[in-house]
A = this chain, B = another copy of it.
Amino acid sequence: MKKLVFIYVVLISAFILYVYHYHLEISRFRSFYQQEKALQGKVDEKYVMVTFQSGMDYWKRCLKGFEDAAQALNVSVEYRGATQYDVNEQVTVLEQVIAKKPAGIAISAINPTALTETINKAVDKGIPVILFDSNASGSKAFSFLGTNNYKAGVTAAHKMAELLGKRGKVAVITLPHQLNHQERTKGFLETIHQEYPQMEVVAVKDGNGDSLVSKEAALEILNEYPDVEGIFATEANGGVGIGEAILSLKNKKVKIISFDTDKRTLDMVKQGIISATLAQGTWNMGYWSLQFLFHLHHHLTPSLQSGYPLLPPYVDTGITVVTKENVEDFYAK
């Protein structure tokens, strides 16, 4: 009988010891993971990206950056685009997004003023808003992340000088009534003028954002100035149009620098028709927009007594020069 009691006691003690050990282990695990700091949100925390003209390749890399940041921070994202290049449609889409009270909204604004009222409504409701790619500078959005268009023009000028051995006549085909294109043109003109005394910009023409009009403009330039050796297009359709103009002329050698990385442009870079194109930092726009929204949502930035959060007001998302050497990296996947 004594032996039996002894076995009972041993068994029960082992059991109690095990239970004790188990609880100790669990609580050690818990405190270990809770003590370690990390930037981490919740999966039901949803951030929304809103663009205009949702079909464009251009947004794919923006969204990839947005998604990569969301995965790193353990939160969810949704993409909403107006299908047309239509102001009212983007306002409607934005209204619908606001109604769902997301954790934050990143917007590329179709024009600098049309969305301001709706953006301000979101901010007044406590929803963080960040602008990327295209700004609405008068709004209450907390930051803008996009290309420094003047610097993009400077980059184009240096690349053109490199291609032409720092000498010769060049021209620009642009959209003269749109601010971002005015800035790209200005950066190009001022850099050629100030830094390359043996180069000259002999013509600046309107390409209307259209490849046919740009082709005609390029032909006119080359007719008027047959010794033009390089043309800078401040947008993608212009670059393709110039490419077609040069192809139509046979044996004509003109260096083309274009903008953005749609498929037609990249194909022409691959074929050597376009010498270089400027890729915007679209992944950066999406990635750091989400980071900023996350920081606003979780109140991770300092703020004024008024509660206004202090975030960098502008991020230059950068430019990469795309040539035959690195063109494969830029096809949309």
Contacts and interface: CB of A to CB of B under 8 A. Distances in A.
Interface of A: 4, 11-12, 14-15, 18-19, 22, 25-26, 29-30, 33, 36-40, 71-74, 145, 148, 281, 283-284, 287-288, 291, 300-302, 304-306, 310-318, 320, 326, 329
Contacts of A281: 310, 312
A313 B316 contact: yes
A326 B307 CA distance: 12
The 7 closest A-B pairs by CB, nearest first: A38-B40, A38-B38, A314-B316, A39-B39, A22-B22, A37-B74, A313-B318
Q: Please tell me how many copies of the chain the complex holds.
A: 2
B313 A329 contact: no
A155 to B, nearest CB: 11
Contacts of A284: 301, 310-312
8 contacts: A18-B22, A39-B39, A283-B302, A283-B310, A312-B315, A314-B315, A314-B316, A315-B315
Contacts of A74: 36-38
A14 B14 CA distance: 12
A25 B26 CA distance: 8
B312 A37 contact: no
Q: Is the interface of A mostly helix, strand, loop or mixed?
A: mixed
A17 to B, nearest CB: 11
Nearest to A33: B33
Nearest to A26: B25
B326 A316 contact: no
A278 to B, nearest CB: 13
Contacts of A288: 312
Contacts of A314: 148, 315-316
A298 to B, nearest CB: 9
Contacts of A38: 38-40, 72-74
Given A148-B314, A287-B301, A288-B312, 12 more contacts: A11-B12, A36-B74, A38-B74, A39-B40, A39-B72, A40-B40, A291-B291, A306-B326, A311-B318, A312-B315, A315-B315, A316-B316
Contacts of A29: 26, 29-30
A39 B75 CA distance: 12
A148 B329 CA distance: 32
A148 B284 CA distance: 20
A53 B204 CA distance: 49
Nearest to A35: B74
Contact of A37 (B73, B287, B317, B329): B73
A12 B12 CA distance: 10
Contacts of A145: 312
